[in-house]
Amino acid sequence: MAKRQIVQDGDPILTKKCRPVTKFDARLGELLDDMKETLLDANGLGLAGPQVGVMRRVFICLADCNLTAEEAEEKYKDGEKPEFIEFINPEILTQDGEVMMYEGCLSFPGHNAAIKRPQKVTARAFDRDGKPFTIEAEDMLARCICHENCHLDGITIMDLAEYFYEDEEHNDEEYDVDEAVGEFEEQA
């Protein structure tokens, strides 16, 4: 496994649509393993192929996206490695509900975007061995799946943001993100 460079804002690769994966081979497995190492190092929730310069329809999400920071710290305190869900040639089948939340992106460090995404999704994809699977996800895992799937179509948080801010704008302890989103929704 090797850590890969994360493609940053301004690189045109982030705006291009990815091609389907056609070979489920050792090279694909190596890419997925590298993406896991890269994601862990970057402390993110998900990572898509184009974010590491690979224009294929592949992404990974942490299986425990829905854990709070405290729950994750407790679960992994003994050095246990997080589990990942690998999505190859994914397709979102159903969406339910709509939730406005702030989200960040490893390709846009320091930016947080208020984006409406489904509260629940059902997605179909293939695993690294080419076996199809279907997953029902909600809350942060659903958001992660939608976020990473958008990357495969060249869509980023900057394209979807109804409002965004840079970390420096709201770095004090007094700032309440939920309150800010509520104020934003009242204005809309």
pLDDT in tens, 38-88: 999 998 999 999 999 999 999 999 998 888 778 877 887 777 888 999 999
Look at residue 186 in the predicted model and tell me its pLDDT. 52
Does the annotation mark 91 as catalytic?
no
Six-digit token pair at 7? 């493609």
- Which whole number is the average pLDDT over 108-112? 91
- In the chain, what percentage of residues exceed pLDDT 70? 88
Look at residue 30 and tell me whether its pLDDT is greater than 80.
Answer: yes
> Catalytic pick from 86, 148, 168, 179?
148
Look at residue 8 and tell me whether its pLDDT is greater than 80.
Answer: yes
Look at residue 176 and tell me whether its pLDDT is greater than 80.
Answer: no
- Domain ranges in the chain? 12-187
Look at residue 169 in the predicted model and tell me its pLDDT. 52
Burial of 61 (0-12, 13-18, 19+ CB in 10 A): buried
The C-alpha angle with vertex 66 and arms to 60 and 68, in degrees rounded to 5, equals 125
Question: Is residue 108 within 8 Å of residue 85, measured between CB atoms?
Answer: no
Look at residue 179 in the predicted model and tell me its pLDDT. 56
Beta bridge partners of 124: 91, 134
Cα separation, 186 vs 73, whole angstroms: 35
Give the CATH fold of the 12-187 domain: Peptide Deformylase (3.90.45)
Q: Report in angstroms the alpha-carbon separations of 162 from 71, 102, 114, 133, 143.
A: 30, 10, 6, 33, 16
Look at residue 131 in the predicted model and tell me its pLDDT. 98
- Which whole number is the average pLDDT over 140-154? 98
Look at residue 167 in the predicted model and tell me its pLDDT. 64
Six-digit token pair at 73? 């710290």
Look at residue 15 in the predicted model and tell me its pLDDT. 97
Mention every residue, 6+ apart, whose C-beta is less than 8 A from residue 169: none
Cα separation, 99 vs 116, whole angstroms: 5
- In the chain, what percentage of residues exceed pLDDT 90? 71
Look at residue 80 in the predicted model and tell me its pLDDT. 80
